[in-house]
Amino acid sequence: MGGTNGFKAITIVAGLGGLLFGYDTGVISGALLYIRNSFQLSSSLQGLVVAVTLAGAAIGAAIIGPIADRFGRRIVLLAIALVFVGGALLCASAWSFEILVVGRFILGLAIGVASMLTPLYLSEIADASRRGGIVTLNQLFITLGLFLSFLVDFALAYFGQGSGQGGSLTWRLMLGAAAVPGALLFAGMLVLPESPRWLMGRGKIDAAEAALRRLRPGTDPAREFEALRQDISKTERADGGWAAVFSARVRIPLVVGVGLAIFQQITGINTVIYFAPTVFTDSGIATATGAILVTAGIGLVNVIFTIVAVRLLDKVGRRNILLVGLAGMFVSLLILGACFAVGTTTHPELAWGIILFIAIYVAFFAIGLGPVFWLLISEIFPLAIRARAMSVATIMNWVFNMLVSFTFLDLNQAIGRGNTFYLYAALTLISILFTWYLVPETMGRSLEEIEAGQPRVIDAA
């Protein structure tokens, strides 16, 4: 692979981990309509099919940090690609509900690993001037995976209704399709270089230099290589264990990373990802197929505005775009709360307003909190503990993902859908204050420069 096109190919292949994350997370929203008929599932067992994947993701994120530090980023991504393929095929061929749950748990493990390791790998192979856009490609691929899952759900729902007992063939094809990008990820990672930063940290100086030159074709990366060598020299004298992750030196970056992980979930995004068809059906969309189609449209909005974020993050800064995105989410949630409070039963025309403002909410999430969280946690931690610290933030992200998913329908029943969205708006306002006072600006600084001046309360760019 030579030149700019070669580097683009490297980042695209690595980003397939994000696509698998998005597809396997989103596909269940449509597949569940058929799975429940195939296995005659109660509502609690339907919830288990969703929840077991999130539990697996939390466990995957919890265990992968030390493994990635020991064996390398590339080899773990290779292994996890095979896990994606195996998990997808197991789900597609599940002959019992128990086997389906095992398959979804295995996919959850892979999703948790990919959610942490893909942005870590991309951040470590990117140069400072392009790191924001390159790492955000991971978020773009997540949104593409979600959009693809919604399209597959719609196509198979539209053309395959009633195929097999309880639509068995339909949901098996939905879940099994994830094996294809899993195989592509494995094939692509076979030819990609290891992270130069990881190689240098393991004392493989010549391999690190060769990998860096491969990643910077047509340029002389000597200055970057020397900065990396000096940073690794300091890292070798630092404690890279779990005690260091929770040390005073890393306290502020850890608070920022964990705080953003929590706010990304408790501001309500996965109520849209997991329950959008239910929300749209309750809001007046007549059929399940129609609700899935509208959900696919929301997925397209997510993709488009993530592309906008890719172009802006290295120009206007992480902190600024995060604040703009959160402000837009806050206003959208307030309006959604009002629409639900009034109700579509007496005012059916509000159904279109709900669809519109869910799309606007998703758009602001896609340019701000969606990509910026994953980007910042790949930047703000010292190299010696980066994988472990990212694991902590990612674990919290999945734990609160589960919490929001478990409580959404119950909150709707207990306090009403309008008040539920008002609650998410209040939490979004808190996240704005958190960002204003604590989140650093990292645009244009190398990972070594960020580590040298540990982020504190940062001046706005």
pLDDT of residue 281 exceeding 60: yes
Q: pTM to 2 decimals?
A: 0.76
The dihedrals phi and psi of 345, each to the nearest 5 degrees, come to -65, -45
Domain presence at residue 208: no
Model confidence band, residue 79 (pLDDT cutoffs 50, 70, 90): very high
| Secondary-structure breakdown of the chain: helix, strand, coil percentages, each rounded to the nearest 5 | 80, 0, 20
pLDDT tens sequence across 136-191: 777 788 888 888 888 888 888 777 654 444 467 888 998 998 898 889 889 888 87
Lowest mean pLDDT among 41-50, 350-359, 427-436: 41-50
Is the residue at 205 inside a domain? no
Does the residue 398 lie in any domain? yes
pLDDT at 90: 96
DSSP-derived 3-state class of residue 2: coil
In a domain, 230, yes or no: no
Domain-embedded: residue 283: yes
**Where does residue 70 rank: exposed (0-12), middle (13-18), buried (19+ CB within 10 A)?**
exposed
Average pLDDT for 386-398: 85
pLDDT computed for residue 458 by the predictor: 38
Number of domains, the chain: 1
State yes or no: pLDDT of 448 exceeds 50.
yes
Q: Quick one: pLDDT at residue 20?
A: 85
> What does the alpha-carbon distance between residue 336 and residue 332 come to, in Å, rounded to a whole number?
6
CB-based burial of residue 191 (10 Å sphere; 0-12 exposed, 13-18 middle, 19+ buried)? exposed
- Residue 185, both tokens: 């990820």
Q: Which residues are CB-contacts of 56 (< 8 A; sequence separation ≥ 6)?
A: 104, 105, 106, 107, 108, 109, 111, 112
**Per-residue confidence band for 352, with pLDDT thresholds at 50, 70 and 90:** confident
DSSP assignment of 206-266 equals HHHHHHHHHHSTTS--HHHHHHHHHHHHHHHTS--SHHHHTSGGGHHHHHHHHHHHHHHHH
Count of alpha carbons within 13 angstroms of residue 184, beta-carbon side: 16
Residue 208's Cα: distance from chain center in Å?
28
CB 12 within 8 A of CB 187: no
CATH number for 87: 1.20.1250.20
Per-residue confidence band for 425, with pLDDT thresholds at 50, 70 and 90: very high
User: How confident is the model at residue 76, as a pLDDT?
Assistant: 92
Question: Average pLDDT for residues 194-202, to the nearest whole number?
Answer: 83
Query: Is residue 216 a part of any domain in this protein?
Result: no
The answer to whether residues 135 and 291 touch, using CB atoms and an 8 Å cutoff, is no
Q: Is residue 212 part of a domain?
A: no
Please give the DSSP secondary-structure letter assigned to residue 72. Answer: -
One-letter amino acid of 461? A
Please check whether residue 358 is in contact with residue 422, taking contact to mean a CB–CB distance below 8 angstroms.
no
Write out the residue range of the structural domain in which residue 293 sits. Answer: 3-192+238-452
Pick from 64, 63, 66, 61: nearest CA to 385: 66
Question: Is pLDDT at 239 greater than 60 in this prediction?
Answer: no
**300 in any annotated domain:** yes
**SS3 string of 274-305?**
HHHHHHHHHCCCCCHHHHHHHHHHHHHHHHHH
